[in-house]
Structure 1
């Protein structure tokens, strides 16, 4: 009798745990009761819609055409590389920038089958449907910067150049030395370490892990980001240079967090189909360039790992900024410097 009761209780506990781990279905834009569709969108190869926003000069007269990839908890409304640069500079250079909502964010349909490859193909298709030509530039910031590695792997033939700004690193990339990766990983707050472990080792538990109230969540999800900012970051916040991102934060996750930020964590920190350390220079004839920008006081992305990547891939133009934090592109004049370094050959 005792064994039967124990078994029933165990089954009940497992059923509860499974139910608690299941995220609610996404509230898809344009569906009955869902958020309205207000942005222009393209229809992708698998029927999903991808929302986008255009900035700068008209693409018909643009000298440079750029696709910008937004970071975690963000959207097409936050292309900091465009908004932080003077409109006069954008016009003088002849720059057209298109930002887009990554799957599940803003007004882009979720992609529950998202992989490291699928988003690179979404970017390629966006370029095709907007008629950006055979080659275009890509710029990604933070977790959006991580996406640029995928573009370098899967669509290098479509790139005129690429910039990674404070790109998030997956600590489980096999090409990273175990001792260095472990050292950098342990520099993160304990709750951040546990949240990333869950995303990597037990991805099906990611939603529950980041919505439960038993122990601290990842700092980026809890809103307690004070100790993740450098002195320069706080200056940018005080000067309201990143206020636009906060303004659109609710819009970014309006379809639900499961298929936006939590899917980001699973794909970004899961097992990749390739190792960025094995990438080859896509511009061997110097017809383009790849730039990686990193602040040495970035408390979210360890500088030690970026230094190793730059050493391992010497064809990347590595720019390390003393005193720079994670909000690097918001610093005075920094986005203009990043843009000109990518576009103008010396």
Structure 2
């Protein structure tokens, strides 16, 4: 008869099979938490990267882009600049002026000057005024290499292609005034004269006293303090900051009606109301290629770190011909505080300073101001 075999099991083996599983050790829990945190951080970064990316650019003249409605030139690098001409034909002009528009504006904003110039004044002085869309605005292609220097060189090439001659005048308004500073730096040999109208100040220019800029900076709206700090210290975050919903964006980007009295003087609001119906005709034209390549890159470049300090510029004009550089400023300007301009011109005695009592940021669009500005520019008086 067959007999079965008996398998002997040791006591140690029996205990191993009946022993309960040990609970997870602290090191194992720590490892799991680290993995979860890593996944969370990666996900957060991916979300942040996606939200920081601007939507695709809308190229003018393309199938899905805005139409081309005016003349343009093609620059050496292939980009196009759109422009508009005012006054007498350029071949008959005695004085040729290039107007540089400000933030969130376009070539049509030159009408704030030209629209208030009497025809007799234009004809008698032989005035030709050229306005252009700065890169990314209106119908001008964005510049992927936009810098403090690049727009000044664009102006020089625009002037050459249109045959403005060896010298021409510059009028820069608001943020266009910052571009005017760069013309003094990079193309001084092309300037017959220059007028800076309420030029925006970069709070981080090295020669500005920190106690002065600190005093003025604290008076800005808190949301503007944050937005400008982002533009200077983290320019790659400008688009995200001004489009996210967690914090308020720059007041001039949001354009909320309740904020306007806090950033514009009573005189500004009066001027803006008088121009509202006219500006409405081209308001949608300004950002039509996308906000990133217009207003957001504008902020990042002009409030970033500059390649030079405007207060170290030398006079590029012959001193015996009278002042050919002018800076105009309203003493009630809430966007560009007058105290900063006073300090800047105190460091640059070759600039003729014009301070306007009771006027805000929009003074160039008021009354006879265009005549006064241009008259002083084209007929300098010797000291």
> TM-score normalised by the shorter chain: which range applies?
over 0.9
User: Helix, strand or coil: the match of 2:48?
Assistant: helix
Out of 82, 85, 88, the residue aligned to residue 57 of structure 1 is 88
Matched, 1:180 2:224: no
Gaps of 5+ in 2: 1-31
Question: Which position in structure 1 is the counterpart of 2:231?
Answer: 199
TM superposition shift of 1:320:
0.5
TM-align CA RMSD? 1.2
Residues 210-256 of structure 1, C-alpha deviation per residue, up to 9 Å, x if partnerless? Answer: 01111211111111323222122122234x13543343121011000
Question: Which position in structure 2 is the counterpart of 1:306?
Answer: 341
Question: Which position in structure 1 is the counterpart of 2:267?
Answer: 232
Of 325-334 and 286-295, deviating more is 286-295
Is the CA contact 2:324–2:380 (under 8 Å) kept in the aligned structure 1? Answer: no
TM superposition shift of 1:64:
0.3
Matched, 1:147 2:179: yes
**1:243 and 1:325, CA in 2 relative to 1: closer, same or farther beyond 3 A?**
farther
**1:284 and 1:243, CA in 2 relative to 1: closer, same or farther beyond 3 A?**
farther
TM superposition shift of 1:84:
2.2
Question: Which position in structure 2 is the counterpart of 1:91?
Answer: 123
**1:242 and 1:278, CA in 2 relative to 1: closer, same or farther beyond 3 A?**
farther
Gaps of 5+ in 1: none
TM superposition shift of 1:31:
1.8
- Could you say which structure has the larger radius of gyration? 2
User: Helix, strand or coil: the match of 1:51?
Assistant: strand
Output aligned runs, 1:93-172, within 5 Å: 93-172=125-204
Of 242-251 and 292-301, deviating more is 242-251
User: Helix, strand or coil: the match of 2:54?
Assistant: coil
Residues 121-164 of structure 1, C-alpha deviation per residue, up to 9 Å, x if partnerless? Answer: 00000110000000000001001111100000000000000000
Is the CA contact 1:73–1:249 (under 8 Å) kept in the aligned structure 2? Answer: no
Residues 178-217 of structure 1, C-alpha deviation per residue, up to 9 Å, x if partnerless? Answer: 1111111112111111100011101111001001111211
Matched, 1:17 2:52: no
Residues 241-286 of structure 1, C-alpha deviation per residue, up to 9 Å, x if partnerless? Answer: 3543343121011000100100100111000110101100011334
Question: Which position in structure 2 is the counterpart of 1:45?
Answer: 76
Question: Which position in structure 2 is the counterpart of 1:282?
Answer: 316
In the alignment, the residues of structure 2 paired with residue 286 and residue 185 of structure 1 have an alpha-carbon distance, to the nearest angstrom, of 39
Residues 60-104 of structure 1, C-alpha deviation per residue, up to 9 Å, x if partnerless? Answer: 111100000011111111102222222221122110001000000
Q: How many residues align?
A: 345
In the alignment, the residues of structure 2 paired with residue 228 and residue 274 of structure 1 have an alpha-carbon distance, to the nearest angstrom, of 28
User: Helix, strand or coil: the match of 2:354?
Assistant: strand
**1:118 and 1:286, CA in 2 relative to 1: closer, same or farther beyond 3 A?**
farther
